[in-house]
Amino acid sequence: MINLKNIERFYRTGIQKTWVLKDVNLSVKQGEFLTIMGPSGSGKSTLLNIIGMLETPDAGEYLFLDEPVFQFNERKRTELHKHYIGFVFQAFHLIEELTVYENIETPLLYRGVKKAERQSMVADLLDRFNIVGKKDLFPAQLSGGQQQLVGIARAIIGKPKLLLADEPTGNLHTSQGEMIMTLLKELHNEGMTIIQVTHNEKFATYGTRIIQLEDGFVRRDEEMRDEG
Amino acid sequence: MIKNYITIALRNLMRARQYTLINVIGLGIGLAAIVWAFQIYRFSFSFDDFHPDQERVFRALSTKEGNDAPMGFFPMPAVQLAKGDFSSIEAAVRIRHNTVDVKAGKNEPFMEPILFTDLDFFSVFNFPLLKGQNDLNDRSAILITEEIATKYFGDEDPIGKEMVLYAGTEFPKPLTVKGVLKNTPNNSTISFKLLTNYENLQHGDGTPAKPDEWNSMLDAAFFKLKTPEDAGRLAADFKKYLPLQNAARADWKMTGFSLVSLKEHAQMSDISVNHLEERPKDSAIFGPLVLGLLIWISTCLNFTNTTVARSNQRLKEMGVRKVMGGRRSQLTTQMLLECFAIVVMAFGVAVFLNSLWLPSFSSMFFIEVRAEYLTDGVLLAFIGLAVVLTTLLAGAYPAFYISRFNPTQIFKGSVKFGDTSLFSRLLLGLQVSIAMITVIGSLGFAENAEFQRTYDYGYDRENVVNIPTQNASELAAMKAAVQQIPGVEAVAGTHALIGFNLPWRTIEAEGQIKEGSVYSIGADFMEVMQMKMVEGRAFDPKLESDFDNALLVNETMAGNFGWTAAAAIGKTIRLDTQNFTVVGTMKDFHGTMLFGTIDPAAMRLVRPEAASNLVLRAKPGEVVSVFDQSKAVWEKLFPMKPYRGYYQNEVAAEAMRVTTGISAVNRLFAIITLLLTATGLYALVSLTLLKRMREIAIRKVMGASSINIVALVNKRYFWIFLFGAAIGCFGGFALTKLLMDMIFKINSGLNPATLAISIAILFLVAVATVGVKVWGVLRTNPAEVLKGD
Ligand SMILES: Nc1ncnc2c1ncn2[C@@H]1O[C@H](COP(=O)(O)OP(=O)(O)O)[C@@H](O)[C@H]1O
Ligand SMILES: [Mg+2]
């Protein structure tokens, strides 16, 4: 599904280049649950953004479903965002002026889904995540865990093939974090490809594969033996 | 404490340079505009306010049969008689303006306006003497203004120099310069360049004016009374002069008199046949007043909006100050002080702008507006008031609003202020309305200019040249000479000209008394002017009776008597004591400028020996060269006499100048208000974007297209914009039409296309403004925005 070759990313400070990603090679198959780990500032978010096509690297090649991403125009990228990729953020990034229901509904608006269909899709998710009672509340009225549930609901409502989650549990208590991870695991079991960034060793084990970023390289890349 | 306030204020303004600059310039424009409007207003209502004993000086006005409007004319002999007859009259002044040829030294003669008046002139009016003496008792004396002194004598001392006035060309009257007066101020109804005793007035045939000429009219008569209460009784008593007067002028039967105070007469705008200067028309006073106020308000709104927008960035500072013990009133003071500093700087800009704007406006409209900031107490007081008002209007809302919050609210980030505020958006809507009004005004008057340029006056005004001469023999010689010029198509002699004199008189038919113009024209005049008949026939110089009693009427006059064009033929019309028979009805023509409607008019035929004006029509496109050639011809024939020829099209010039002037002023103001609207909109949109940067990034990540984002940002401005534009449309339409109707009885009105174009212009400006800002946001990478969290 994803094929990254010799990805480089640097920032220029004056005449000096600071490398974030030096030579990253990575391929992710459909149905994998990949965890990216590494110290702060090691370029995990940068890598995730490149995969999510929010950032363009300075060198390298990126094939998404065997198509060369760097040749896509703005419109095509927007199309991919709509239909293939969902994002979950550490800081939730819910729209404060919108209710829970409206937040989840928003991606469907951009996909031009009919009202009746939207209602049933959102209702299904609210039901599944057990937040039906909260649908008319505003984000500020929810706990962090509940907000992240909404964030995930919003990310998956469009049935993306790929879910990108940058430290989804970073702002949550452990118990809430576990709930979120269980949910991700479920989604993975249903066939969704997921790439997450986390600092939490335990949460990393929910996935099928872990890579370790250091000094701009992939230091470690191991498949998890399925213990369960 | 104060010092601390000021330091902080200045530092804050320095830090926000863009904000400061935009507002200093913006408010500078606004202040300049109201100072301009205020000065026009004051100028207009200051006419004749510089004479001593104002309340005791009265102007005598008359009324005439068939017309109730007060007229400026007054019977000449009645003034001196009244002074003798009524003991309550302390001084009496006759005023008669003439334009005469004046010769001094070796110069060629110039035409100059001269005032003939009485000994009492300087005891009633205040026209300061600069040099020599102003005793009109000296019959050989002529008094001149500084302007004339420089024009004729340059640096030399004019006192004692000789100046020769000519009545006609043959009758010189040498006078000696005895005094130099200050130029007459522009807010004086009495205006002159030369001044001499009434007894020096000569008629065209060289005979001196005699004190008992009852057929002679004064342009104005003024009386200074011992007790002002006597005015009403005195005006009634003046009726005893009516029989003498009306016996001498059967064509101009007066019915009564009135005395109005100097102040009142200076404000009257309905004196008919008024040969004194008048204050600017209401439209010229209130048009600028409305425009100036609109601009000023618009700049204040802009100031408020940008201040609000900036306050948002200062919320944190306010919170910190409060925590450190700043009281609300101190914070308010701090913010108002910053506003005040900006307004004061803006005033500097206003002074500069008006130093450019006032002179160019004055020369465009002949309305003198000056601003003498240092010596004019009233103006200073007005400016003080304007500065305080502007500070409060623009600064009060942000200052009081922002200082209200408590710090924890601010730190929690739950205070939202600025773009979402309906108040700010309403202000923006108001600005849009104002911009709309000025854009419509500018386009509307441009349209009117085009309408006037192509307006059919009912005669050929493009190709005709008028050449006044002084008698029939001059006319005959000139006529023969211009006929030799190849570009000349037709020539005629005439007494009356169209558009430059209004031979207004009483006209009687079938027992109805009406008024109208009666032109005495030469036989070929209508052919030269290309005027058309509707019914009946034109004059036939071969019929002797046509000279005696034939009359042509225009459609309007026929209509006034209740006749159709055809029915008018054969009717009898009485002028003075003489009966005429209507032989033809002419197509209507515009006998005046477009300021007025089409007048009822009649034509009678004059014999060649009574004609003194020459009219000629040039072949199309050759009028300028014909004009120059006829001037050359004249100078060869009459080397000692100034050539007085002018283009018939000058009849349209004044109206055209006014229209294009108004259009130009509106255009300038439209550009300003559009810029102001654009800055206001830019400030608000910037703020919205700043606040919603994160939201926009999230939406982009969720698949929102650029169009979705543009729609999102503009949604909150779209309706307010539409609302403002709609109000502006109505306001602009109503105000422009009102102004047009006030100034021009005949005008183009407003075309729906003008409104549509105005809306389009405003819309384009808005789209461009928002577009620039939104484009930048669309270009930013959402990852960049979301990264920080
Ligand atoms: N716009 C930028 N300019 C300069 N350096 C940047 C910029 N954005 C990120 N970086 C640097 O790139 C490095 C990697 O950032 P990031 O991918 O966010 O790390 P991680 O998510 O692993 O903590 C960091 O050292 C960060 O300081
Ligand atoms: Mg990170």
Least confident of A93-102, A152-161, B562-571: A93-102
Token duo for residue A166: 């940058």
- Picking from B40, B60, B58, the residue whose alpha carbon sits closest to that of residue B48 is B58
- Tens of pLDDT, residues B122-152: 999 999 999 999 989 988 999 999 999 998 8
The sign of the torsion formed by the CA atoms of B642, B196, B249, B268 equals positive
Report the DSSP pairing between strands A209-214 and A193-197: unpaired
- Our answer on whether the CB atom of A42 is closer than 6 Å to any ligand 1 atom is yes
- Picking from B72, B67, B57, the residue whose alpha carbon sits closest to that of residue B126 is B57
Task: Choose the closest CB to B781 out of A54, A82, A154.
Answer: A54
pLDDT at position B56: 92
pLDDT band at B325 (very low <50, low <70, confident <90, very high): low
Mean pLDDT of B340-352: 92
Return the residue in A44, A49, A105 with the most chain B beta carbons within 10 A, the one to mutate for interface testing: A49
Query: Nearest ligand, CA of residue A212?
Result: 1
Alpha-carbon Rg of chain A, whole angstroms? 18
Measured between alpha carbons, how far apart are the two ends of chain A, in Å?
Answer: 26
Q: Does A90 touch chain B (CB under 8 A)?
A: yes
Helix or strand (DSSP H, E) at B95: strand B89-103
pLDDT at position B399: 75
Number of C-beta neighbours around residue A115 at 10 A: 9
Please check the confidence at residue B418 and state whether its pLDDT lies above 60. no
- What percent of chain B has a predicted confidence (pLDDT) above 90? 39
- Secondary structure of A106-168 in the HEC alphabet? HHHHHCCCCHHHHHHHHHHHHHHCCCHHHCCCCHHHCCHHHHHHHHHHHHHCCCCCEEEEECC
pLDDT at position B308: 75
> Which amino acid appears at position B785 of this protein?
V
Mean pLDDT of A174-198: 92
pLDDT at position B405: 66
CA dist list (Å): B425 to A160, B241, B303, B338, B673: 39, 69, 13, 23, 16
Number of C-beta neighbours around residue A218 at 10 A: 18
Mean pLDDT of B210-239: 90
pLDDT at position B324: 63
pLDDT band at B788 (very low <50, low <70, confident <90, very high): low
- Tens of pLDDT, residues A78-93: 788 888 999 998 888 8
Number of C-beta neighbours around residue B779 at 10 A: 9
pLDDT at position B408: 58
Torsion of CA B181, B185, B190, B196, to 10 degrees: 10
Residues 670-709 in B contacting A (C-alpha not used; CB under 8 Å): 694-695, 698-706, 708
A-to-B residue pairs, Cβ atoms closer than 8 angstroms: 51
Contact A81 B702 (CB under 8 A): yes
Report the DSSP pairing between strands B578-586 and B550-554: parallel
> Which amino acid appears at position B518 of this protein?
V
> If DSSP codes are grouped into helix, strand and coil, which group holds residue B691?
helix
Contact A95 B699 (CB under 8 A): yes
Contact B703 A95 (CB under 8 A): no
Report the DSSP pairing between strands B141-145 and B171-181: parallel
Query: Nearest ligand, CA of residue A47?
Result: 1
CA distance B420 to chain A (A): 11
Please check the confidence at residue B714 and state whether its pLDDT lies above 50. yes
What does the DSSP 8-state code read for residue A210?
E
Please check the confidence at residue B753 and state whether its pLDDT lies above 70. yes
Contact B703 A93 (CB under 8 A): no
- Tens of pLDDT, residues B678-688: 888 887 787 77
pLDDT band at B310 (very low <50, low <70, confident <90, very high): confident
pLDDT band at B413 (very low <50, low <70, confident <90, very high): low
Cα–Cα distance measured from residue A73 to residue A87, given in angstroms and rounded to the nearest whole number: 20
Number of C-beta neighbours around residue B167 at 10 A: 21
What is the pLDDT of chain B when averaged over all its residues? 86
Least confident of A142-146, B38-42, B703-707: B703-707
- Tens of pLDDT, residues B597-612: 888 999 999 998 888 8
CA dist list (Å): B621 to A82, B385, B581, B627, B649: 70, 56, 39, 12, 13
* Count of residues making up chain A: 228
Least confident of B269-283, B319-333, B452-466, B692-706: B319-333
> Which amino acid appears at position B394 of this protein?
A
Contact B698 A45 (CB under 8 A): no
CA distance B46 to chain A (A): 60
Chain A residue with Cα closest to B420: A97
Cα–Cα distance measured from residue B710 to residue B689, given in angstroms and rounded to the nearest whole number: 11
- Tens of pLDDT, residues B629-650: 999 999 999 888 888 899 998 8
Helix or strand (DSSP H, E) at B493: strand B488-494
**Global confidence as pTM:** 0.72
CA dist list (Å): A69 to A5, A74, A160, B104, B441: 12, 11, 17, 94, 55
Please check the confidence at residue B176 and state whether its pLDDT lies above 60. yes
Report the Cα B788 to chain-centroid distance in Å.
Answer: 62
Contact A89 B787 (CB under 8 A): no
pLDDT band at B524 (very low <50, low <70, confident <90, very high): very high
- Picking from B83, B87, B116, the residue whose alpha carbon sits closest to that of residue B223 is B83
Least confident of B26-35, B87-96, B359-368, B448-457: B359-368
Contact A55 B781 (CB under 8 A): yes
Q: Does A141 touch chain B (CB under 8 A)?
A: no
Q: How many CA atoms lie within 13 A of B215 on its CB side?
A: 6
- Tens of pLDDT, residues B55-108: 899 999 999 887 778 889 999 999 999 999 999 999 999 999 988 888 887 777
Q: Is B93 exposed, middle or buried (0-12, 13-18, 19+ CB in 10 A)?
A: buried
Contact A87 B702 (CB under 8 A): yes
Q: Does A118 touch chain B (CB under 8 A)?
A: no
Please check the confidence at residue B232 and state whether its pLDDT lies above 60. yes
Cα–Cα distance measured from residue B181 to residue A165, given in angstroms and rounded to the nearest whole number: 92
pLDDT band at A228 (very low <50, low <70, confident <90, very high): very low
Contact partners, residue B783, CB within 8 Å, separation at least 6: A49, A52, A54, A55, B697
- Tens of pLDDT, residues A41-69: 899 999 998 998 888 899 999 999 999 98
pLDDT at position B329: 74
Q: Does A135 touch chain B (CB under 8 A)?
A: no
- Our answer on whether the CB atom of A46 is closer than 6 Å to any ligand 1 atom is yes
CA of B376 relative to ligand 1 center, distance in Å: 65
Cα–Cα distance measured from residue B180 to residue B171, given in angstroms and rounded to the nearest whole number: 25
Are B418 and B312 a contacting pair, CB within 8 Å? Answer: yes
Listed in sequence order, the DSSP H helices in B225-376 are: 231-237, 242-248, 262-267, 282-323, 328-365
- Our answer on whether the CB atom of A176 is closer than 6 Å to any ligand 1 atom is no
Number of C-beta neighbours around residue B480 at 10 A: 12
Please check the confidence at residue B502 and state whether its pLDDT lies above 60. yes
Contact A111 B703 (CB under 8 A): yes
pLDDT at position B330: 73
Token duo for residue B476: 């005959």
pLDDT at position A147: 92
pLDDT at position B757: 92
Strand partners, B99: B113
Mean pLDDT of B471-481: 91
CA distance B781 to chain A (A): 7
Chain B hits for A49, CB-CB cut-off 8 Å, are 783
Are B558 and B601 a contacting pair, CB within 8 Å? Answer: no
CA dist list (Å): B377 to B362, B374, B557, B680: 22, 8, 53, 34
- Our answer on whether the CB atom of A34 is closer than 6 Å to any ligand 1 atom is no
Residue nearest to atom 2 of ligand 1 (CA): A11
Chain A residue with Cα closest to B778: A74
Mutate which of A42, A48, A55 to test ligand 1's pocket (most atoms within 8 Å of Cβ)? A42
Task: Choose the closest CB to A54 out of B695, B704, B782.
Answer: B782
Contact A93 B702 (CB under 8 A): no
Q: How many CA atoms lie within 13 A of B727 on its CB side?
A: 14
Mean pLDDT of B331-344: 85
CA of A87 relative to ligand 2 center, distance in Å: 14
Taking the CA of residue A39 as reference, the ligand 1 atom at the shortest distance is 22
Mean pLDDT of B429-454: 89
CA of B656 relative to ligand 2 center, distance in Å: 71
CA of A100 relative to ligand 1 center, distance in Å: 31
Cα–Cα distance measured from residue B225 to residue A98, given in angstroms and rounded to the nearest whole number: 82
> Which amino acid appears at position B158 of this protein?
P
Mean pLDDT of A195-217: 92
- Picking from B494, B452, B492, the residue whose alpha carbon sits closest to that of residue B649 is B452
Are B553 and B574 a contacting pair, CB within 8 Å? Answer: no
Number of H helices, E strands in chain A: 7, 10
What does the DSSP 8-state code read for residue B168?
T
Helix B706-743 vs helix B752-779: crossing angle, to nearest 10: 150
CA distance B714 to chain A (A): 17
Chain A hits for B783, CB-CB cut-off 8 Å, are 49, 52, 54-55
Q: Which residue has the tokens 């006319």?
A: B475
What does the DSSP 8-state code read for residue B202?
B
Please check the confidence at residue B419 and state whether its pLDDT lies above 70. no
- Our answer on whether the CB atom of A198 is closer than 6 Å to any ligand 1 atom is no
Mutate which of A10, A13, A20 to test ligand 1's pocket (most atoms within 8 Å of Cβ)? A20
Mean pLDDT of B287-305: 86
- Tens of pLDDT, residues B719-738: 888 899 999 999 999 989 98
Token duo for residue B431: 């600005």
Mean pLDDT of A199-209: 91
Mean pLDDT of B701-718: 83
Task: Choose the closest CB to A93 out of B703, B781, B786.
Answer: B786
Contact A95 B695 (CB under 8 A): yes
Chain B hits for A158, CB-CB cut-off 8 Å, are 703
Cα–Cα distance measured from residue B705 to residue A82, given in angstroms and rounded to the nearest whole number: 10
Mutate which of A40, A45, A58, A199 to test ligand 1's pocket (most atoms within 8 Å of Cβ)? A45
